[in-house]
């Protein structure tokens, strides 16, 4: 009887690389977040590393790219809704600190595999950097509810909020430079201080004018007809006791028209400095015809 020959085990299938279920779920979460951002007309690019955020977001307005970018951290979880209607998630404090200190806006998106819904929050808006720094816990519990659901409308709100913050930050930087020049001039006088300050004020005007173009208040170098109609409809034409009173009426009407235009895009209101300088520049355009 012939000796039995041992057959070698089949290695063709067992040696094939495998895909972990965690990677599949992670990709699914990123894909769902991208869908929402695409619906909000944002361009997304996946960041392929394991130590930072997942998505780079480039936003645009009427086809014109914004001068800032956004980052998105995507987390996929199976969540349970508590009896009070909230969901709880735990995130490392070190991650929250980094996100709050980040210069670019960061959105944290939590995709729930069970409900197939996405929740989102902006760490810099939700947490105080001071309080986080003093907190001794390694993990922070975060409560989210239906008000934090990520949708096209919510994404557009976040984008416009980030756009306003960008212009406010640029404005604050110029004003800080002006304050530094004034302080330096008191310590060590230098001849060009007035010219340098005037140059910085020109930068302020440029920032605000670009912002007004984004709002479509300025179009083709002049104030939009719709804005001017709104301005005139709210301007009181009664008798004025002084030039100062007439000026105040003009400023109030400009302020109202500006707030109305912002609400067409964003319901959260404008930062105060950005609003006040925008009113000032619009008034200069009306009276002095400054180039824009």
Segment 212-242, tens digit of pLDDT: 998 889 988 889 999 999 898 877 666 666 7
Q: In the predicted model, is pLDDT for residue 130 greater than 90?
A: yes
Residue 154 backbone dihedrals phi, psi, to 5 degrees? -65, -40
d(CA 105, CA 158): 9
Categorize the per-residue pLDDT at 191 as very low, low, confident or very high, splitting at 50, 70 and 90: low
Rounded mean pLDDT, 266-278: 88
Rounded mean pLDDT, 164-176: 90
**Residue after which a domain boundary falls, among 117, 150, 183:** 150
Structure tokens at 9: 């085990």
Phi and psi based region of residue 41 (left: phi greater than 0; alpha: psi -120 to 50; beta: remaining):
left
For residues 122 and 177, membership in a common domain is answered with: no
**Residue after which a domain boundary falls, among 101, 118, 150:** 150
Give the domain range for residue 165.
159-288
Asked if residue 11 belongs to a domain, the reply is: no
How many domains does the chain contain in total? Answer: 2
Categorize the per-residue pLDDT at 21 as very low, low, confident or very high, splitting at 50, 70 and 90: low
Q: In the predicted model, is pLDDT for residue 288 greater than 70?
A: yes
For residues 126 and 194, membership in a common domain is answered with: no
| Proportion of the chain above pLDDT 70, given as a percent | 82
Rounded mean pLDDT, 137-146: 94
Q: In the predicted model, is pLDDT for residue 211 greater than 90?
A: yes
């Amino acid at each position: 009887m012939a000796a039995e020959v041992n057959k070698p085990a089949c290695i063709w299938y067992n040696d094939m690389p495998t895909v972990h279920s965690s990677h599949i779920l992670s990709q699914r979460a990123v894909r769902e977040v991208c869908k929402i951002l695409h619906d909000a007309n944002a361009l997304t690019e996946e960041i392929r590393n394991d130590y930072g955020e997942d998505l780079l977001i480039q936003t645009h307005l009427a086809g014109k790219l914004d001068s800032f970018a956004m980052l998105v951290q995507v987390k996929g979880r199976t969540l349970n809704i508590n009896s009070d209607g909230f969901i709880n998630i735990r995130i490392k404090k070190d991650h929250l600190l980094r996100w709050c200190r980040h210069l670019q806006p960061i959105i944290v998106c939590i995709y729930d595999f069970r409900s197939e819904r996405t929740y989102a929050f902006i760490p810099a808006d939700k947490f105080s950097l001071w309080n986080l720094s003093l907190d001794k816990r390694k993990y922070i519990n975060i409560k989210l509810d239906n008000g934090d659901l990520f949708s096209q409308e919510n994404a557009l709100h976040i984008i416009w909020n980030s756009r306003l913050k960008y212009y406010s930050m640029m404005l604050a930087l110029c004003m800080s430079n002006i304050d530094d020049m004034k302080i330096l001039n008191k310590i060590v006088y230098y001849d060009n201080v007035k010219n340098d300050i005037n140059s910085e004020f020109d930068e302020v005007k440029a920032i605000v004018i670009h912002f007004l173009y984004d709002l479509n208040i300025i179009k083709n170098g002049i104030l939009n007809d719709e804005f001017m109609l709104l301005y005139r409809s709210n301007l009181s034409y009664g008798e004025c006791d002084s030039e100062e009173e007439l000026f105040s009426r003009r400023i109030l009407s400009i302020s109202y028209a500006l707030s109305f235009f912002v609400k067409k895009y964003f319901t959260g209101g404008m930062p105060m400095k950005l609003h006040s300088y925008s009113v000032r520049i619009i008034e200069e355009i009306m009276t002095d015809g400054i180039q824009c």
